[in-house]
Amino acid sequence: MTPNGVLQILAYFAIILLLTRPTGLFMAKLFDGKRTFLHPILRRVETFTYRICGVQEQVEQRWTQYTFALIAFSVASFVVIYVLQRLQGFLPLNPQGFSASNVPPDLAFNTAVSFVTNTNWQAYSGESTLSYFVQMSALTVQNFASAAVGIAAAIALVRGFSRERANTIGNFWVDLTRATIYILLPIAVIAALFFCSQGVIQNFNSYTHVKTLEGAGQVIAQGPVASQEAIKMLGTNGGGFFNANSAHPFENPSPITNFVQLILIFLIPAGLTYTFGVMIGDRRQGWAIFGACSAMFLAGAFTCYWAEQKGNPLLSRFGIEAAATPGQPGGNMEGKETRFGIAASTLFATVTTDASCGAVNSMHDSYTPLGGLVPLFNIQTGEVIFGGAGAGLYGILLYAVLAVFIAGLMVGRTPEYIGKKIEQKEVKMAMLALISTAFSILVFSAISSVIKFAPPTKDAKGQPAVHSYWNPPGAAASNVADSGAHGFSEMLYAYSSGTGNNGSAFAGITANTPWYDLTIGLAMLIGRFLFVIPLLAVSGSLVKKKRIPPSAGTLPTNGPMFVGLVVGTVILVGALTFFPALALGPIVEHFLMYQGRLFSLALFSF
Amino acid sequence: MLKHLGPAFRMTLFLTVLTGLIYPIAVTGLCQLLFHDQANGSLIANGGRVIGSALIGQNFTMPKYFHPRPSAAGIYGYDASASGGSNLGPTSRKLFDRTKAAADQFRSENPAYRGSIPADALSASGSGLDPDISVANAKAQAARVARIRKVSRDRILALVSQNTNGRGLGFLGEPAINVLKLNLALDRLYPAY
């Protein structure tokens, strides 16, 4: 690790720390229904939205109504995206002439689910699959909407704590509208213009054909990228315009745009910890959550950086420079860009999986085993290290509920959090959320490791003739790009990423087959809705309770001891659930790598 | 549930118009107006014809040019309509073999260079379109380029350092050299026939 690399990580953290308070205050005001400095301009758009959509701003909803509205909105979004993709051949702004045959039903299903659930898992490559119109009208829209849904759900949960003896937790449509119009849109416009000034493209041109300096042909993909790039990061969506995502120079041309992209990922999630503190009337509670996230963020960032800077011992025999020198970054540069080097790449990998973003500026599949373990474990523990826009806050609050429950068990008192008694119902719901996501990750990975489909038959010329519909390559495990432990990691990462609504990948895996499209699609649905619904139920139950003032026997939840307790809960629950699977993947691969073992693909094909 | 479907579809369509059409089209208009060059891909013209983008790497194999990193984009590399990395895992034999071949090639192309090979010279980038190489990588290739262009290595090195982009704001990312721009400068100053 170089001093300069360490400086980048610390400078990034310092900026997030500085932005947390202003962002958090603004959001607290907004969701409490107070006027903000943007109201003079945007209030008219807001009321216009309510009029058009038939929303009554003053009417509040119980948790069941709030949940139904959220689900209905997700269903409507799903239908619209699915239809737009399948009809892309008949729609405008399609200079490359993509049609429905580029998006078969299973892929369209997977992509629709992926963008509605804020996952942005991409089984397709943008530049060879989707028209500009679909990228904008289906995908960019959901980058806003799915993030706004996450923020709304988080605010609804916070109201469960902040209100007492009430029945309602807000109005879903109002929260959705305010999150979109006052937070996401203004920042996205500014960020998009900044990105474009730095070289991110924004046009509707057809692909540019050039003859290179050496006289070869090159086709350069184009498109309205900057507008999608800005909201992709801000909404912690992560779905790239291009296959290479934020590694692509047209999405992320320089170290400065890279740094701004990183800031956009954590901006809302970090701010929401402060919003939480303001809304419940005890800012130190918000800072405690911020502290727990910070500790885990820094630990992950430095671990990942250290592992990648050490490089790959298998390749050192070729005289490759493993150490960082003034003229080159050293370390494991496979899948990383020169302009970012090791530090800015590993910081991005950590941040994008701390949050449920899933954008990548380097290819996680080519990370060293321990370097790749950090993003994988971040996702598996529920992306609660600041986390996704909204999703992070409600995730870490679930862990906070569990932490006070565990502490309560140890001392034999009824646990309380923010003055609310945590009882059977809250703990059951928190466990339901955690168990369903763990179930989805582990069971789908297990099934894909063993399930067999008919292997493709070959005709007389050795060309594949007949193959199974569900998975043309044959067994589900034969879709991986690497054999041995790493191949298992690719499958485990895919289902973790889907369930965690992250969207990044160990991208060597061929995930665009009906089997993977459907199972990962299901994993995304489980990870989104079996997390959000129990949590809104918790909110509905808490909102009825009165707030008890702290007494001598109350466990203080705004100090360092509680920070330690939350971190301990996250790590412990994560490790207990996933250690066996991780041992079969990255951990054993680490030891095999130092033993000098290599895997050729033949080992894994059936 | 059903009574929410009405507002749900209306809201979806409204957001589609606002964030899916108005937002990107307005941003496109502004970008085309304010940052016309960047918005269209920072294209570079040479002798009146567009030869590529300043941001997108292209392949160079002739000894008179600086060579970029290995690329996994498309079948032949540097396919700017099929971006992507190799996605090979650390224990992959394919990665091992490819690295070995790249190392052998680097040594045979640059016989004058005796040091350890810069990490970026043997690894494929994440995008497959990395426009840059590291400073050490350029320096390692300088002797070859100088010999073919019949100029001193020092003049080539001076050109390399002129074409080095420092870290962002002095500390972000890594210093990098844009291969296309460097090779264009070479052709302009020290043409090889």
Q: Write the pLDDT tens digit of every residue in A380-392.
A: 999 999 999 999 9
What end-to-end distance do the CA atoms of chain A give, in Å? 42
Residues 6+ away with beta carbon under 8 Å from A317: none
For testing the chain A interface, which of B10, B14, B17, B19 should be mutated: the one with the most A CBs within 10 Å?
Answer: B19
Q: Nearest C-alpha of chain B: how many angstroms from A503?
A: 16
Same domain, B6 and B99: no
Question: Which chain A residue shows the shortest CA-CA distance from B12?
Answer: A77
Cβ–Cβ < 8 Å for A591, A486: no
Both tokens of A322, joined, read 């493993």
User: What is the enclosing helix (H) or strand (E) of B132?
Assistant: strand B132-133
Cα separation of A396 and A273, whole Å?
Answer: 10
Instruction: Report how far Cα B140 is from the mean position of its chain's Cα atoms.
Output: 18
State the average pLDDT over residues A54-74.
96
The one-letter code for the residue type at A50 is Y
Question: Which chain A residue shows the shortest CA-CA distance from B35?
Answer: A197
Cα separation of A399 and A574, whole Å?
Answer: 11
Both tokens of A180, joined, read 């979109």
Secondary structure E strands in A105-205: none
Same domain, B168 and B149: yes
Nearest CA-CA partner of A440 in A500, A390, A391: A500
Question: Which chain B residue shows the shortest CA-CA distance from A334?
Answer: B123
Q: What are A208's strand-pairing partners? A: A220
Contacts of A334 in chain B (CB under 8 A): 85-86, 88, 90, 95, 123-124
Q: Which of residues 363-422 of A touch B (CB under 8 A)?
A: 363, 365-369
State the residue for tokens 């005890």: A282
Question: Which chain B residue shows the shortest CA-CA distance from A256?
Answer: B168
Q: Which of residues 58-87 of A touch B (CB under 8 A)?
A: 65, 68-69, 71-73, 75-77, 80
Phi and psi (nearest 5°) for A397? -65, -35
- The sign of the dihedral angle between the CA atoms of B52, B54, B57, B60 is positive
State the average pLDDT over residues A26-47.
97
Q: What does the pLDDT look like over B62-84, one tens digit per residue? A: 999 999 999 999 999 999 999 99
Cα separation of B17 and B12, whole Å?
Answer: 9
pLDDT at A125 over 90: no
Question: Which chain A residue shows the shortest CA-CA distance from B19?
Answer: A141
Q: What is the pLDDT of residue A35?
A: 96
Per the structure, how many domains does chain B have?
2
Same domain, B30 and B98: no
- Cα angle A157, A163, A166 (rounded to 5 degrees) comes to 100
Cα separation of A114 and A505, whole Å?
Answer: 13
Phi and psi (nearest 5°) for A336? -120, 155
* Mean confidence (pLDDT) of chain A: 94
State the residue for tokens 């390399």: B160
Q: What does the pLDDT look like over A188-244, one tens digit per residue? A: 999 999 999 999 999 999 999 999 999 999 999 999 999 999 999 999 999 889 999
Q: Does A316 touch chain B (CB under 8 A)?
A: no
Same domain, B131 and B180: yes
> What are the structural domain ranges in chain A?
393-604
CB contact under 8 A, B1 and A68: yes
Same domain, B157 and B83: yes
For testing the chain B interface, which of A237, A310, A338, A592 should be mutated: the one with the most B CBs within 10 Å?
Answer: A338
Q: Is A591 exposed, middle or buried (0-12, 13-18, 19+ CB in 10 A)?
A: exposed
Same domain, B16 and B89: no
pLDDT band of residue A412 (cuts 50, 70, 90) is: confident
Same domain, B20 and B55: no
Q: What is the pLDDT of residue A604?
A: 41
Question: Which chain B residue shows the shortest CA-CA distance from A135?
Answer: B20
Q: What does the pLDDT look like over A574-594, one tens digit per residue? A: 999 999 999 999 999 999 999
pLDDT band of residue A461 (cuts 50, 70, 90) is: confident
State the average pLDDT over residues B17-40.
97
Q: Between β-strands B43-46 and B49-53, what pairing exists: parallel, antiparallel or unpaired?
A: antiparallel
Backbone dihedral region of A332: left (phi > 0), alpha (psi from -120 to 50 degrees) or beta?
A: beta
CB contact under 8 A, B9 and A76: yes
pLDDT at A606 over 60: no
Contacts of A312 in chain B (CB under 8 A): 90
Residues 6+ away with beta carbon under 8 Å from A68: B1, B4
Decide: helix, strand or coil at residue A262: helix
Contacts of A326 in chain B (CB under 8 A): 135
Q: Nearest C-alpha of chain A: how many angstroms from B112?
A: 15
Q: What is the pLDDT of residue B141?
A: 97
Range of the domain at B9: 2-36
Q: Nearest C-alpha of chain B: how many angstroms from A481?
A: 7
Both tokens of A310, joined, read 């050490």
pLDDT at A488 over 50: yes
Same domain, B49 and B98: yes
Contacts of A243 in chain B (CB under 8 A): 82-84
pLDDT at B35 over 80: yes
State the average pLDDT over residues A484-512.
93
Q: Is A4 exposed, middle or buried (0-12, 13-18, 19+ CB in 10 A)?
A: middle
Nearest CA-CA partner of A434 in A403, A406, A398, A405: A398
High-pLDDT (> 70) share of chain A, %? 99
Cβ–Cβ < 8 Å for A331, A311: yes
pLDDT band of residue A603 (cuts 50, 70, 90) is: very low
- The sign of the dihedral angle between the CA atoms of A182, A184, A187, A192 is negative
Cβ–Cβ < 8 Å for A323, A209: no
Cβ–Cβ < 8 Å for A44, A75: no
Same domain, B126 and B176: yes
For testing the chain A interface, which of B27, B122, B141 should be mutated: the one with the most A CBs within 10 Å?
Answer: B27
Decide: helix, strand or coil at residue A325: strand
- The sign of the dihedral angle between the CA atoms of A41, A47, A53, A57 is positive
Question: Which chain A residue shows the shortest CA-CA distance from B117?
Answer: A320
Q: Between β-strands B132-133 and B164-165, what pairing exists: parallel, antiparallel or unpaired?
A: unpaired
CB contact under 8 A, A145 and B180: no
Same domain, B25 and B78: no
* Mean confidence (pLDDT) of chain B: 95
Out of B87, B93, B107, name the one closest to residue A481 (CB). Answer: B87
Cα separation of B35 and B43, whole Å?
Answer: 13
pLDDT at A67 over 50: yes
Same domain, B77 and B100: yes
User: What is the enclosing helix (H) or strand (E) of B165?
Assistant: strand B164-165
Q: Nearest C-alpha of chain A: how many angstroms from B54?
A: 9
Q: What is the pLDDT of residue A605?
A: 42
